[in-house]
Amino acid sequence: MRLKKILLLLFVYLSTIHMYGQTGNETNKPKSDAKGIIQGQLIDSKTGETLPGAIVTIDGTTIAAITDIDGNFHLRNVSPGTYKLNFKLISYATKVVSDITVTGKEARVVNISLDASSSELMEIVVEAKVNRESNVSLIIQQKNNASVSDGISAETIKRTPDRTTSDVLKRVSGTTIQENKFAIIRGLNDRYNFALINGAPLPSSESDRKAFAFDIFPANTLDNIIIVKTGTPDMPGEFAGGIIQLNTKSIPDENKQTVSISGSFNSFTTFKEFQTYKGGKSDWIGVDDGTRALSGSIPTSAGMGSASVDEKARLAKHMSYDWGIISKTAMPNTNFQYSCARNTTIFGKEFGILGALTYQKNFSTNYTIRKDFEGENGDIIVPKVALKDTSYNENTLSSALLNFSYKINQNNLLSFKNLYSINSDDRLTIRAGARDLDQTDKTWERSSARWFTQNMFYSNQLSGDHLVFQNKCKFNWNIAFSNINRTVPALRKNVYQKVAQEESDANTPYVAVIQQNGVSTFGGGNMFFSGSDEQMRSVKYDLSIPSDITKWGIKNTIKIGAYHQLRDRDFTVRSFGFSKYRKGSSIKFVDSLLLLSDNQIFSEANLGQMNLAAPYNGGFKLEESTKISDNYQASSQLHAGYFMLDTRVFEKIRLVWGARVESYNQVFSYIEFGSNSSKHIDTTVIDILPSANVIYSLNEKMNLRFAYYKTVSRPEFRELAPFSFYNFILDNIWNGDPTLKRAEIYNYDFRYEWYPSGVQMISVSAFYKDFINPIETVNRHAVSGAPELYFTNIPKSINYGAELEYRINLGIFTKNDSNILLSNTSLFSNIAFIKSEVDNKNVVGATSRPLQGQSPYVVNGGISFMHPKYDFSISVAYNIVGRRIWIVGNTQEPDIWENPRHVLDFQLTKTFKKKFEMKINARDLLAQNQIFYQDINKNGKADKNTDNYMIETRYAPTCSVSLSYKF
């Protein structure tokens, strides 16, 4: 049923695009005399504010436009040629900008700044060249932001080979990506970030952590990404690293369609043998068709609990999944993207529609060594476990975007934005190795897991931007809905073991680990089903009112607003396993079944009673191991209001200050394991979050910034859930804690900014963060079996550090602008050094350590060259993140650290005749191993001979080629 809805959505999408593709402006038609577009934005040269209501005309023509609520203008049907533009606005000097060339092939972007006039009675005319003017406007927009922020635009994104939003985020200053999808800002754990899409919040995409997987969004749907690093009252108060703002495209600038296709090669995977298992017919689109679903014949958990032995044997026949492992050849990774933009009119008003389809299929193979150790006799470290994993991953991403924008007039704009994404990860992990290495007879193991995870994400927003009260005030509103449905159907794990001195002992066969009765977490024949359905509804509205005190030289903007968010999650789990079917002397279990391979052992013939005549042979019966505490329902309500003043004093000083009040109610319901009693947690916390950002302009090119702001970090639903989950891949158990408290963070920032010329920028920053009750993942010492991880509050932690960022064009070192190499080559880098200290003085045996997930340094850097004549560019990017604690240890188990990896990327882009584009990209050229280790010798680095290497994963470089065509 869900697949039918998806196909219906895609059909409606394609039909709509086709309809608007047949109508609209004359520019849709392929004519040799195609008209062009001049577009841009008008801003105040001192304040950076957008200027609505300005008149824009082209010399020698009757073409004109008025800037809208955001200062944007569009001059359409412009014949190819070179023009002068006139910009007029009351109280501003008229500006004439020359040398604007229109080709008719694509929109000409011109961003302009106006100077306030000292006299309203005399017209002042200023002339400028377009190239210089565009650079000035870029400087103004960056240095006049209310808070410290960094970002990347669609113009820059399209010059990269990036396919997903997580790829793009790596190019934003101070940001790194963990596990190819989670954002790390200022070296902080991903739980300290907050994500927005078009101003609406994004719920956590993960059922087991507070994080959002940014790989579910294709890059071609983005208009820009902005990361805000300091707080203001009009921004969410739940962050410490940064607020990630994703903005998808709205009214298109021109009518166009783009098709791109790419393929990539990985030396570990492509054209190599790829192990997998039989899935469903719709796996190709990332959706399980029911092949892995739990049979409707299986009774409820209560029914299973009261079922007889014979009934459990009968029910086993309804769980006849295909456990076989098959081989195929891995084909190259593929990526297909299509987008269509149309700009037309409805009832004489401008109407824009933008649609995009994305389909990606990626194969990868990872080789991992997993070990576990135990301390004995003081400092002697004894190896306990050594396993080798080979993971075969097949990832599918399918998405559709459909956005509408309607400009009622220059003062009123409505937008309706929709995004639907399906992201699935189909993984087969094959494990071999030994446990009990400290014993003479070791436990040798061969095991496998089939793990399919399906994420369906839908988001829509209806928003409005309005100029009201005689066009002096701005009123903005946003109504949003999002839904994330995460399903893990039939995660199947099988385990074979034998006990012998050596694995090569031919006299001792491998035997499937199946219980006499019940289910073991570490045994075979286990099946896990989970579903998480989360919905989020939100409403946001604010009003900006100018309130100047002219005689004191003070300009004020008062901004008041409110935000309301309702969030619901329903999480369900069913856990099953096969056990031996035997019943006194009448039914005997066939022990030889335990010697069968994965392909045969759980076939339908071996489930339940195996023959019809006595003596009866028993196969496998079905057991349920679901605990009553495994399922939970949770909801939250967040109501916030804020008051903000944006005060400018004599053009040099700007103060953005105020407070935000957030009332957060969280309801969590579950059944307590052991007592079987219903538990209902209902808490409400009210936080007053003050903030102040002071910007002092030393001159037109330099700023000093000071910021103070209080924020919070609240526990995620899963972190409160008291149920346990065995992660076969990581070989550990995760537990939640319903008593977790929210963390409070007090933040202080200082920043010096210098904008030498053009789009160049140099900044130096310092920051200090004081955490109260931060949440960490801690290793609870397990007497036997896999390590147990749980979430807990620690009393206090502090973070402080410094950042250096620069974007420099090498042309700054020479006065000869004709030097093509230097004037078109840019260096960029962001370097952060952070010190983190956890207050654990009351923890027995604890030593000084940083906050979990906090890196001591983050380095992003690179160099790029873009040839202005031959339309090609080359760039090299480098990234490294300092070692950080992955899992906090205890008095018996040291902390587990993640070792740094040097990552080097290369790309070459070439455009042909403004329509064809080719990109060649090489990712992770160094392909260093990812290592998680215990620092036994405490020297601050990984030493293979002395430290405990817990996890070591090998990678290979990935090379790709993509082609795109715009028409």
Tens of pLDDT, residue by residue over 36-87, are 788 888 887 766 677 888 889 988 888 888 888 778 888 888 888 888 888 8
Percent of the chain exceeding pLDDT 90 equals 34
3-state secondary structure of 568: strand
Dihedral Cα 298, 304, 306, 311, nearest 10 deg: 50
Residue 798 and residue 603: Cα distance in Å, rounded? 57
Residue 412 and residue 414: Cα distance in Å, rounded? 7
Count of positions (residues) in the chain: 967
Backbone phi, psi, residue 651, to 5°: 65, -10
Backbone phi, psi, residue 303, to 5°: -65, -40
- pLDDT (mean) for 127-137: 46
- pLDDT (mean) for 425-446: 93
Q: What is the pLDDT of residues 693-743, one digit of tens each?
A: 999 988 878 889 999 999 999 988 878 877 676 666 666 777 778 888 999
Using left for φ > 0, alpha for ψ between -120 and 50, and beta otherwise, residue 317 falls in alpha
Residue 118 and residue 123: Cα distance in Å, rounded? 10
Q: Are 152 and 170 in contact (CB under 8 A)?
A: no
Q: State residue 842's pLDDT score.
A: 61
The span from the first CA to the last CA of the chain, in angstroms, equals: 36
- What lies within 8 Å, CB to CB, of 338 at 6+ separation is 257, 258, 259, 260, 356, 357, 358
Residue 708 and residue 692: Cα distance in Å, rounded? 5
- pLDDT (mean) for 917-933: 89
DSSP states along 778-842: EEEPPSSSS-EEEEEE-SEEEEEEEEEEEEEEGGGG-S-TT-HHHHTEEEEEEEEEEEEEEE-TT
Q: For tokens 């045996």, name the residue.
A: 845
Backbone phi, psi, residue 146, to 5°: -65, -35
Residue 414 and residue 463: Cα distance in Å, rounded? 6
223 pLDDT above the threshold of 90: no
Q: For tokens 């100029």, name the residue.
A: 467
Could you count the other beta carbons within 10 Å of the beta carbon of residue 535? 17
Which of these ranges, 123-127, 520-524, 820-824, has the smallest mean pLDDT? 123-127
Q: In the structure, what pLDDT confidence band is assigned to residue 132 with cuts at 50, 70 and 90?
A: very low
The sign of the torsion formed by the CA atoms of 580, 298, 423, 786 equals negative
Residue 955 and residue 266: Cα distance in Å, rounded? 9
Q: Are 360 and 334 in contact (CB under 8 A)?
A: yes
- Return the CA Rg of the chain: 31
Q: State residue 278's pLDDT score.
A: 93
In the structure encoding, which two tokens stand for residue 824, read together?
Answer: 């078109």
Question: At residue 235, what is the residue type?
Answer: M
Could you count the other beta carbons within 10 Å of the beta carbon of residue 194? 21
In the structure encoding, which two tokens stand for residue 208, read together?
Answer: 């087991």
Q: Widest CA span of the chain, in angstroms?
A: 111
Q: State residue 944's pLDDT score.
A: 86
Q: Are 624 and 528 in contact (CB under 8 A)?
A: no
Choose between 161 and 297: higher pLDDT.
Answer: 297
Q: What is the pTM of this model?
A: 0.83
Q: State residue 905's pLDDT score.
A: 87
CA distances 607 to 21, 123, 296, 308, 612, Å, are 57, 92, 18, 16, 13
Q: In the structure, what pLDDT confidence band is assigned to residue 426 with cuts at 50, 70 and 90?
A: very high
CB half-sphere exposure, 238, CA atoms < 13 A: 22
Strand partners, 643: 560, 659
- What lies within 8 Å, CB to CB, of 579 at 6+ separation is 312, 514, 515, 516, 517, 518, 519, 525, 620, 621, 622, 623
Q: What is the pLDDT of residues 142-186, one digit of tens each?
A: 667 777 777 776 666 665 556 667 777 766 766 777 666 777 787
Q: In the structure, what pLDDT confidence band is assigned to residue 365 with cuts at 50, 70 and 90?
A: very high
Q: For tokens 């040097």, name the residue.
A: 902
In the structure encoding, which two tokens stand for residue 168, read together?
Answer: 């793009």
Q: In the structure, what pLDDT confidence band is assigned to residue 216 with cuts at 50, 70 and 90?
A: low
CA angle 738, 741, 742 (to 5 degrees): 130
Q: State residue 479's pLDDT score.
A: 94
Name which of 184, 186, 197 is nearest 236 in CA terms.
197
Residue 521 and residue 625: Cα distance in Å, rounded? 9
Residue 661 and residue 177: Cα distance in Å, rounded? 32
405 pLDDT above the threshold of 80: yes
Mean pLDDT rounded to a whole number for the chain? 83
Could you count the other beta carbons within 10 Å of the beta carbon of residue 305? 11
CA distances 393 to 187, 271, 478, Å, are 28, 14, 39
Q: Are 251 and 203 in contact (CB under 8 A)?
A: no
5 pLDDT above the threshold of 70: no
In the structure encoding, which two tokens stand for residue 672, read together?
Answer: 């307590």
Question: At residue 855, what is the residue type?
Answer: S
DSSP states along 125-147: EEEEEHHHHHHHHHHHHHHT-SS
- pLDDT (mean) for 347-365: 87
Q: State residue 759's pLDDT score.
A: 67
Residue 820 and residue 728: Cα distance in Å, rounded? 55
- pLDDT (mean) for 622-643: 90
Q: What is the pLDDT of residues 307-345, one digit of tens each?
A: 999 999 999 999 989 999 999 999 999 988 888 888 888
898 pLDDT above the threshold of 70: yes
Choose between 953 and 817: higher pLDDT.
Answer: 953
CA angle 534, 539, 542 (to 5 degrees): 150
Q: In the structure, what pLDDT confidence band is assigned to residue 6 with cuts at 50, 70 and 90?
A: very low
Q: State residue 134's pLDDT score.
A: 44
Q: What is the pLDDT of residues 847-874, one digit of tens each?
A: 778 988 888 988 888 888 888 778 888 8
Could you count the other beta carbons within 10 Å of the beta carbon of residue 388? 13
Please state the separation of Cα 23 from the chain's center in Å.
37
876 pLDDT above the threshold of 50: yes
